A and B are shown apart, each in its own frame.
Chain A
Amino acid sequence: MRNILIVDDEPYVCQALRRVLETSGNSVLTAASAEEGLQRLREHTADLAIVDIVMPGLDGVGLIAQIRSEFPNVRVIAMSGGGNFGLSEYLPETIITHAYLEAARKAGAQGTLFKPFETQQLRDLIEQVAGPMPAEAL
C-alpha cells in the first residue's frame, strides 16, 4: 500500500482521484490548499504527493519546493490544466500549462501530468515516480 496525498482546490478532482487510487489499493489523504497539504504531511506519513499548480494562496510550485525541503523522501507529481484566467475548461496544450509544469519540474517534481488525463496515465506515472506497489498490498 502506498500513502498518497492529493492537493487540489477543486473538490471533485480530489474525490475522483481518491476513488481511483483507493481502488488500486492506496491509502489516500486529500487537501484543498497547499497550506493544508503541508499540514497533512506534518501529521501523516506519505510516500507520494500529487499536487495541482494553480491554487489560491501558496501555489503548487511553492508547495513542491516546500515538500522537497521539508519532506525530501516524499515523491511528487505535479498536475495542471492551465487555468487562472477565468476560463473554465482545461487548456493542456497552452504555453501557460507547459510553463507551470516546467516550473514544477524545476522545483523538484519527479513527474508531471496535463489535465485532463486518463486513469491509466496516472497509474503509469505513479509507478514510474514511486516505483511498483509494495508487495504486501498485492
Chain B
Amino acid sequence: MDIQTEAGTVATEITTEVWPGWTPRRAARIRLMLIDDHLLIREGIEALLSLERDLEVVGTASSIPDGIELARALGPDLVISDLTFPGCNGSTAVRTLCQACPETRVLVLSVHDSLECIRAAFAAGAVGYLRKDASREEMLYAVRRAVAGGRSTCLAVGDIVVQDWLERGGLREPAANACLSAEDRRALRLIALGVPTWRIAEEFGRGVKTVEKYRASLMRRLSLKNTAAVTRFAVDMHLLSHSEVDRLLAADAVSGSTAREA
C-alpha cells in the first residue's frame, strides 16, 4: 500500500491484517443517506453512524419525495429508509425510492416486522431489512454488507423469515420425493448438473450400461423426458444448491437452453 505525503509517495506495510479495523485516513468512506420522518431518529442514527471511521452520512430527509431528490443529487452508496411515512404505506415508499433511484441500494429500518412488510420490501428492491430494535452491531454489519452487494436482515427478522419458511414454504416436500431413494436423489443431482453417464457410472462404481438403464428407468418412473426436465425436477425437489442452480442458469445463458434440451 502507498501513502501520499508532502514528501512524496511512501510505501508502507501497514494493512488491516496488521491493524484490524484500521482504515487509512484517505480511504473512501461509505456514503450514506437517511430517510425517516422522525427527527430524533435521523439525528440519532446520523450521530451513531458518524462514529464509524468508514461511514459518512451525506444527507438526511424526512420524506420519500425529498429523499429521492437528495439521493439523485448526492448519489449515496446506500440509503437507510423507514418503511412507512405519513400518507405512504408499507412497501410503496421503498418501491418508489428504488424505481426513482435504481442505482441506489436501500436498507429498510422499520418498527414493522410482519412477513408482508419484509417480503414486500425485498420484492420492491430493498437489499436489507432491520427492525428498529436490532442491535447497533447488526446495523453496522447490514450497512457494510449491503454496500458490498449482499442482502441481510437483523437476527429478529431472520428468525421470522426462517420460521415462516419452515412452517409454510421451503421445507414442504413434494410427494414424489418420498418415493426416491438416496441413490435416486444422488443420480438425479448428477444428471441435472449435466454430468455424463460414464462419469456417473464411475461415481456409483458400476458399469456404463447398467447406469444407462438405471437412468432411463428413473426418468421413465418420474415422467421426465429429457435432461432439462430432470434439472427442473431436481430444482423443485431441492436437490441442487442455489449456487449450482445459478451456475446452470449462467451456462444456459451462454450456450442457450436448447443445447441442454438436446
Contacts and interface: CB of A to CB of B under 8 A. Distances in A.
Contact of B40 (A54, A93, A94, A106): A54
A61 B48 contact: no
A96 interface: yes
A85 B44 contact: no
Interface in B84-130: 109, 111, 130
Interface magnitude class on chain B = 20 to 34
Contacts of B45: 95, 99
B138 interface: yes
Contact of B111 (A53, A54, A85, A93): A85
A87 B41 CA distance: 16
In this complex, the member of A87, A93, A98 whose beta carbon has the largest number of chain B beta carbons within 10 angstroms is A98
Contact of A95 (B39, B40, B43, B138): B138
B136 A95 contact: yes
The majority secondary structure among interface residues of chain B is helix
B132 A95 contact: yes
A86 B112 CA distance: 11
A59 interface: yes
A82 interface: yes
A100 B48 CA distance: 8
A54 B134 CA distance: 18
Contact of B133 (A87, A100, A106): A87
A96 B132 contact: yes
Given A53-B40, A61-B40, A85-B111, A103 B134 contact: no
Interface string B24-52: 00000000000000011101111110010
A91 B137 CA distance: 15
Interface string B149-160: 000000000000
A40 interface: no
B230 interface: no
A94 B133 CA distance: 5
A98 B48 contact: yes
A47 interface: no
B135 interface: yes
B146 interface: no
B214 to A, nearest CB: 56
A93 B154 CA distance: 13
Contacts of A9: none
Given A98-B48, A102-B51, 8 more contacts: A82-B133, A85-B132, A94-B132, A94-B136, A99-B41, A99-B47, A102-B48, A103-B46
28 contacts: A53-B40, A54-B40, A59-B39, A85-B111, A85-B133, A86-B111, A87-B133, A91-B133, A94-B133, A94-B134, A95-B45, A95-B48, A95-B109, A95-B130, A95-B133, A95-B135, A95-B136, A95-B138, A96-B41, A98-B136, A99-B44, A99-B45, A99-B47, A99-B48, A102-B44, A102-B47, A103-B44, A103-B47
Interface of B: 39-41, 43-48, 51, 109, 111, 130, 132-136, 138-139
The 9 closest A-B CB pairs, nearest first, are A99-B44, A102-B47, A103-B44, A103-B43, A94-B133, A99-B48, A103-B47, A106-B47, A85-B111
